[in-house]
A and B are shown apart, each in its own frame.
Chain A
């Protein structure tokens, strides 16, 4: 377990020295800040500010679905292209520890990134009376973290297949989008059933967490996706040795 923390710590710190992470943070805060300001402005003009704490959350979820693959793309792809994977795979570290450490570091960064956006609902809370519904907000943020953790795990898995970070990001995004549209697509061709609805990546979030409902079914969905992806990632790494 100590190895996991060491690797996660290095990964986490890496984000704070990488320009990519700052670009991502800058764009995210710029867009969300802009949206928030416009909403407040419009609200003040009409004399009615909507006390919905999820004001920035909706757009943020969309942005994160498209940008999280950038966060994970280099996790293992870069190690493989630069040869440092040889260093890690010959250190006394198990493949699983390496994978989980990498994912955890990325999760830490994403949690830090999204935690900052909590400031908008806090402002809103002070501007409105009787304030916003904190319970809904907590559920929505919890769901967001679970969903992001699943995206990160899928990204980590995809990253083990590639030497090119860009390819890893592209494929991760494709997988997420596929999971996203699978529900709608299946109902479009008349094949919608329990399974395709359950697989649908985003509906677990919007149908429940976003509305303030924490359903075990949705928690299990994201957690199992995370665990399965990380498990597969360590298997892929293991199989690399045998090739």
Chain B
């Protein structure tokens, strides 16, 4: 059973609809006890870093999530801010992240001479950096992005895929059972459906 963490952020229903179409059992989890049966977890997110942390704390599911991911090794996929909060900190706010990954979240650099339109919004290419189950059967993968901050792992080996927006940045990560994508697979047509199907088979 895939549990989609519903802490009031992000499109839980869109994930559920995709898994329903794929015939993969899934559950929208709003309480800790709805997480404990999961053999896969999706941590979605739309919004700011601090707000996401606050909502997750308030949902009462944080401790159970830590336990499932860190102690039991249940595969987890963070999406957008859901990925960013797996890091230790973010330029976007003051809250501490979940700290599951040795990483920080940085803002795309703006200078007087170089004005980059932010947020990075729209469809961009995603280049896998190594062969991994998550990116199997994806032809010319492109996904929808909506963010102004990017995930920067301390160890480059954790980068699973990169994308380019003036700089090359990490658009997917993987460390043991912990995976994250900066883009929105739930809103990325057949590419997103394939990636979510891949995650369900990991």
A binds B: no
Q: Could you tell me which A residues sit within 8 Å of B by CB distance?
A: none
Q: Could you tell me which B residues sit within 8 Å of A by CB distance?
A: none
